């Protein structure tokens, strides 16, 4: 019992390191950005997501402070419906027929459009009057 009482402060401080408070967790979450998450199913979707991520990382590495999610709904008749979301808002949507579209060129065009939209969204957030609102209530 005495040993446990002597080790209790060490155990509590160790738990604080393993389970950080909300301030440290928020700081860590703010630093995680620039990811392209691939939620696609088919080869076409995977290649589009890979080309999009590669182009983003090579062209916008210094301004890549937002995360994207690439989703797909395949169709045997029309090809694949690809849509990209930024902060739970759809910023790109297109049907990609299999074998008829240059996926690399389409992903580059999509990355340019998405990057412009992300910059506009960040500028709007900076200029928005949120004096009486919390950050997520606008």
CATH code of the domain covering residue 84? 3.30.160
Helix (H) or strand (E) run with residue 18 in it: helix 2-18
Residue 40 lies in a domain: yes
Residue 23 lies in a domain: no
Residue 70 lies in a domain: yes
Digit-coded pLDDT (tens) for 106-135? 999 999 999 999 999 888 878 877 667 666
Residue 92 lies in a domain: yes
Identify the burial level of 18 via C-beta atoms within 10 angstroms of its C-beta, where 0-12 means exposed, 13-18 middle and 19 or more buried. exposed
Q: Residue 88 sits in which domain range?
A: 36-131
User: Coil, helix or strand for 91?
Assistant: strand
Residue 65 lies in a domain: yes
Residue 53 lies in a domain: yes
Digit-coded pLDDT (tens) for 29-87? 556 778 899 999 999 999 999 999 999 999 988 888 889 999 999 998 889 999 999 98
Residue 49 lies in a domain: yes
Give me the number of domains the chain comprises: 1
């Amino acid at each position: 019992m005495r040993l446990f009482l002597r080790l209790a402060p060490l155990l509590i401080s160790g738990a604080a390191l393993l389970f950080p408070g909300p301030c440290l967790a928020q700081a860590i979450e703010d630093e995680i950005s620039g990811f392209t998450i691939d939620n696609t199913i088919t080869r076409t979707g995977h290649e589009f997501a890979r080309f999009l991520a590669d182009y983003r990382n090579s062209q916008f590495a210094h301004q890549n402070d937002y995360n994207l999610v690439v989703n797909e709904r395949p169709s045997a008749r029309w090809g694949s419906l690809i849509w990209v979301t930024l902060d739970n808002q759809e910023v790109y949507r297109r049907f990609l027929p299999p074998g008829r579209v240059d996926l690399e060129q389409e992903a580059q065009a999509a990355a340019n459009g998405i990057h412009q939209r992300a910059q506009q969204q960040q500028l709007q957030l900076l200029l928005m009057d949120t004096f009486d609102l919390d950050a997520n209530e606008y």
